[in-house]
Structures are given as C-alpha cells and as structure tokens.
C-alpha cells in the first residue's frame, strides 16, 4: 500500500506543475504573451517529434506509430471544426485551440501518470527519480500552455484551473497504472495520437497567430522564441536521458 501512497503523491505533485505559470504572469508581462506562445510552439513540436513519437516507435511498429500520429492530427482537425461550429457568440469567447491544447495535454499527462505508476512498481527510488524527471520536462511546457490559454482568451483564474485539470490527469493515470497495470498497453496507442494532436495545434493554430505580426524584428524574435522552446526541451531530454 505504501507504493500506492508514493504514486498518488508524485502524480499529484506532477499535477501542481500546472501552477507554475501563475508566478510568471502579471499585467506587465502581457506584452510578452506572443513571445511565450512562440516558445510553446517549440515545446509542442519537441514533445511530439522528440518524445511521444520515438516512445511509440519503441513500443509499436514504425508504420503503426506514424499512422496513429496522422490519425491524431486528423482527429484534432475534426475536433477543432466541431468546436468552431458550436463556438459561443458572446464577446471575448476563448479561441477553440485553447480546448485542443487542454485535450492533448490531458492525454499526455495521463500517460505520464501510467509511467509514474509503472516505475514505482519496479522500486520506490526508481519511481521517485522517474517522477522528478517527468516534472522537470513538464515545467517549461506547462508555462507555455498557460500562456497559450491566456492568449486564446482565458482569464487567469480560468486558465489556471483548466490547466491544472489537464495536468492532474496524471493522478488518474497513476491510479489506473497501479490497479490495472495491463492498461498501460493501451496507452501505447495514445502516445502517437497525442503527438499528432500537438503537431496540429502548433502548425495549424499557433504558428499562424505568430505570423500575424507584421514587424520583421518582432517576427524574428518570435521565431527565436520557438527555436528556444525546442532547444531547451531537447536539451532537457538529453541531460535526463
């Protein structure tokens, strides 16, 4: 039972990384919002291409992984169009891509919870190290996700709440992994689908937002931010193995 305690604790602490953005966002930082959205583009692309897809290839075949990634891309395309059709007509409605990023992040974090559970089933020290590494690579992405939610029209408190809900699915994943460890086999198929979703959000929603900037200097700065997000998360992956 003490293993279950550690799984719950670490999964919950992983969920708390969603609160990181609140310490960086104040009214005076709103003018840098598009810079952080650009950073998030790099984070999403890195998460898809250098994290989720390689992990799925290690578990599934290459053709199946790419087929599921394309399927995920198309699912998010259809989902966004569905959200547009049912989009509210009030002023200041959040952009549909805010919901997409929450859905994708929730699936990703559920998988992280499964990984946390499976690592603790091996040993408590291994589980603790794995959990800390997961939180380390989640932190910068959660800051970027929070920025995207704010940019997309969420109020701060609402963005914080929903970002936390999407992140706390790691706790659900941890519980599922503990009680139904065989369920982790099904998560193998979620990895490439989530990757396709992340790529869709970055390519179809966020990059066009950044390209709306007409000032060449600012566009170059935004491009540098996207590359920075990509480099930081790739470096973190290399350092943590």
Note down pLDDT in tens along the chain; length 241 residues: 588 888 899 998 888 887 776 666 555 555 566 777 777 788 788 778 887 888 889 888 899 999 999 998 998 888 777 766 555 545 456 777 788 888 888 887 888 888 788 778 777 887 887 788 778 767 777 777 888 888 888 888 888 889 888 888 999 988 988 887 655 566 678 778 888 888 888 888 788 877 777 777 877 887 887 787 777 766 655 655 5
92: left (phi over 0), alpha (psi -120 to 50) or beta: left
Other CB atoms within 10 A of residue 174 CB: 30
Going by C-alpha positions, the residue among 220, 37, 32, 232 that lies closest to residue 143 is 37
Query: Does this model's pTM top 0.75?
Result: no
Is residue 19 within 8 Å of 126, Cβ to Cβ?
Answer: no
Name the CA radius of gyration of the chain, rounded. 18
Alpha helices in the chain (DSSP H): 2-16, 33-46, 53-59, 62-85, 96-122, 124-151, 156-167, 169-179, 184-200, 207-211, 216-240
């Amino acid at each position: 039972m003490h293993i279950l305690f550690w799984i719950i604790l670490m999964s919950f602490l992983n969920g708390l990384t969603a609160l990181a953005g609140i310490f960086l966002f104040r009214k005076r930082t709103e003018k840098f919002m598009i810079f952080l959205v650009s950073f998030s583009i790099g984070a999403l692309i890195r998460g898809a291409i250098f994290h989720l897809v390689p992990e799925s290839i290690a578990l599934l075949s290459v053709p199946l992984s790419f087929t599921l990634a394309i399927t995920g891309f198309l699912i998010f395309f259809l989902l966004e169009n569905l959200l547009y059709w049912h989009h509210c007509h009030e002023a200041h409605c959040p952009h549909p891509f805010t919901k997409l990023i929450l859905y994708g992040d929730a699936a990703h974090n559920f998988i992280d919870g499964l990984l946390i559970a499976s690592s603790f089933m091996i040993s408590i020290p291994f589980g603790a190290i794995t959990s800390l590494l997961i939180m380390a690579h989640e932190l910068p992405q959660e800051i970027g996700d929070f920025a995207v939610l704010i940019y997309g029209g969420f109020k701060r408190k609402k963005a914080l709440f929903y970002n936390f809900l999407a992140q706390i699915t790691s706790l659900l994943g941890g519980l599922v992994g503990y009680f139904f460890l065989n369920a982790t086999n099904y998560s193998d198929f979620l990895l490439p689908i989530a990757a396709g979703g992340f790529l869709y959000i970055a390519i179809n929603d966020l990059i066009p937002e950044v390209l709306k900037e007409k000032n060449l200097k600012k566009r170059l700065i935004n491009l540098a931010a996207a590359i920075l997000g990509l480099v930081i998360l790739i470096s973190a992956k290399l350092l943590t193995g």
